[in-house]
Amino acid sequence: MTLIWREQLSVANDAIDNDHKHLIEIVNQVERTLTTRDRSELARALDSLTQYSHVHFDREERIAAAAGYIRTPGLHQSHVALLERFVLVRTEFEASGPQWSAAATDHFIEFLRNWLIDHVIKEDLLMKPTLQKLSPSFSPG
């Protein structure tokens, strides 16, 4: 099942919302490559997810800090933990061998969906009241 951006996921900042939309696209791409069992395409998609997550988390933290979001240090710690968990699960999945099982595929897809959506819902939406006080195009420059 493909992830779909919904307005309820908006944190009231265009840059962060656009990042989240792009991360959803990448997770959907990972899911497609898992179902087609194209290991080289999967590696590219996972690398893209890793790289873009770093870019996004850095941008999100800079915006949160500049906006005066009081939980920015906790947000950073959450991002570090998310990246560590992603690396661990990715390593476990890649170690499963060249022919991953349907169960391993389902587990990894569910992890990625929860990894992204739970973070947005449980962590990022807490910034919304702070960010709503600013222009949707607010950026620290």
What pLDDT does residue 105 have? 83
More confident residue, 93 or 54: 54
Token pair in block for residue 108? 């990894």
Task: Work out the pLDDT band at 13, boundaries 50, 70, 90.
Answer: very high
What is the arithmetic mean of pLDDT over 48-73?
A: 96
What does pLDDT average to over the chain?
A: 91
pLDDT tens column, 64-81:
999 999 999 999 999 999
> What pLDDT is attached to residue 104?
80
User: Rounded to whole angstroms, what are the CA distances from 126 to 22, 121, 130?
Assistant: 20, 8, 8
CA neighbor of 125 nearest in space, from 114, 117, 137, 133? 117
Phi, psi of 6 (to 5 degrees): -130, 150
- What is residue 115's predicted lDDT score, i.e. its pLDDT? 87
Name the burial class of residue 107, with classes exposed (0-12), middle (13-18) and buried (19+) by CB atoms within 10 angstroms of its CB.
Answer: middle
Name the more confident of 138 and 36.
138
Domain ranges of the chain: 13-131
| The CATH homologous superfamily of the domain defined by 13-131 | Hemerythrin-like (1.20.120.50)
Q: Which pLDDT value is given to residue 67?
A: 97
Summarize pLDDT for 69-112 with one digit per residue, the tens: 999 999 999 999 999 988 988 888 778 776 777 888 888 888 88
Distance of alpha carbon 98 from the chain centroid: 26
How far, in whole angstroms, is CA 91 from its chain's centroid? Answer: 17
Percent of the chain surpassing pLDDT 70: 99
Tens of pLDDT, residue by residue over 114-131, are 888 888 998 999 999 999
